[in-house]
Amino acid sequence: MTQTAYCPALLVSAPASGQGKTTATAALARWHVRQGRRVRVFKTGPDYLDPMVLERASGQPVYQLDRWMAGDAHCRQLLHEAAQTSDVILVEGVMGLHDGIASSAALAETFGLPVLAVIDGSAMAQTFGAIALGLATYRPQLDFFGVLANRIGSDSHATMLQESLPDGIAWLGALKRDADAALPSRHLGLVQADEIADIDARIDRAADAFDAINPPLPAPIAFAAPTLEPLPRHLAGKTIAIARDAAFAFIYPANLDCLRAMGAQLAFFSPLADSALPECDALYLPGGYPELHLDTLDANDAMRDAIQKHAGASKPIVAECGGLLACLEALSDADGKTGRMLGLLSGTASMTKRLVNLGMHSVELDGEVIRGHSFHHARTEVTEPAHATTRPERLNGTPEAVYRKGSVFASFLHMYFPSNPAAVARLFNGV
């Protein structure tokens, strides 16, 4: 492995959420792929849905970059590895450029990433320039590459926005408002990419706009290799069965890499379609949308029996968010429809139309801290005692209960395994 790798890179951010960062990043990634370039895309912060779209756009897996959740050394390792095999690296920001306890701006400064700001110009004129100026100068050390106007109405509108920019702020062009290129959403964010029948056509349509823009590549950036010790093989000889289908799809690629690096063999199964578990020593039930598949989950008695037998044999089960909901006795959607779940924990849950919890969280288990995040629209009525509670990292955040019953470990916390591999290994070893 080379000690320093060089690759052009760009962090795509915005003044706020909802400005069109994902569409713009996906379009830019697809456009570069069309030019014959090898493109790697990363997503800042905890997110499962945007990366699904970005993976389709680039043809490569999308990893998270988050300085709080993952640590600088881990982020540096991911960027260094990508730089060795890529022609361009794109990083989609999270929320607004300067928002959060580990902001996109801080990430950009730490790793020397120039910033492209996507600004929704649909309802503004000269104020566009004021916003661009604020983004560019609020953090003086930031390398501000330029701005891209999004959702404009006409060529004359684009000209007006361009003319509003102060000297020194580069105009990278404009994307017009286009319903045929927009990405549909639901209560947790974008609809999963595999559920959008014309996802590639939408990305291609958005990418077409860059043919006229012909965006320049930024200068190559030096990505140094961190000094990291190999992970101890705490899971050597273990097979972990992982639920992965339309109901349980919220899985960080880095989590899978972490398990493999500790020696685990991974076997995937579908709680929706399969009637039996793979031969395994432990189960991982990640988050997702079980509330959208109540009838299928309710009707799959064979899978319910198989997982109950697994738990009855005192084999570990690690469940998070949607996995927690699946471990309860019953789950109701926001319209009141109810389905039977696995019955591993006493209690029920119901979906709400409003957000219940959101934020970065950590949990301390036997003196070891695992980091991650919480994001859900579910309320639970659980009669099991809480084994622990998470610690929210933002002011006035709401802690989440963590349950341990027999071999079952479950909570709303989406854990980022590389934040503490040894502690995660203990969960899958049932310790």
Name the active-site residue from 7, 75, 280, 321. 321
The CA distance from 251 to 184, in Å, is 21
The CA distance from 205 to 275, in Å, is 40
Q: What is the DSSP letter of 374?
A: E
109 sits in which H/E element: helix 104-111
* Per-residue tokens: 403: 């349950």
Q: What separation in angstroms does the CA of 402 have from each of 106, 259, 344, 368?
A: 31, 21, 14, 14
328 sits in which H/E element: none
The CA distance from 96 to 19, in Å, is 9
Distance of alpha carbon 402 from the chain centroid: 22
CB atoms within 10 A of CB 103: 22
Q: What are phi and psi of 269, to 5 degrees?
A: -145, 165
- Using left for φ > 0, alpha for ψ between -120 and 50, and beta otherwise, residue 366 falls in left
Give the three-class secondary structure for 364: strand
Let me know: does 394 contact 417? Beta carbons within 8 Å: no
Q: Give me the residues paired with residue 340 across strands.
A: 330
Q: Give me the residues paired with residue 25 across strands.
A: none
The CA distance from 422 to 370, in Å, is 10
Q: Give me the residues paired with residue 405 across strands.
A: 408
Let me know: does 428 contact 235? Beta carbons within 8 Å: yes
Question: 3-state SS string over 193-209?
Answer: HHHCCCHHHHHHHHHHH
Let me know: does 104 contact 11? Beta carbons within 8 Å: yes
Q: Give me the residues paired with residue 267 across strands.
A: 241
Would residue 280 show up in a list of annotated catalytic residues for this protein?
no
Q: What is the DSSP letter of 69?
A: T
Q: Give me the residues paired with residue 6 across strands.
A: 222
The CA distance from 360 to 369, in Å, is 13
Give the catalytic positions in this structure.
321
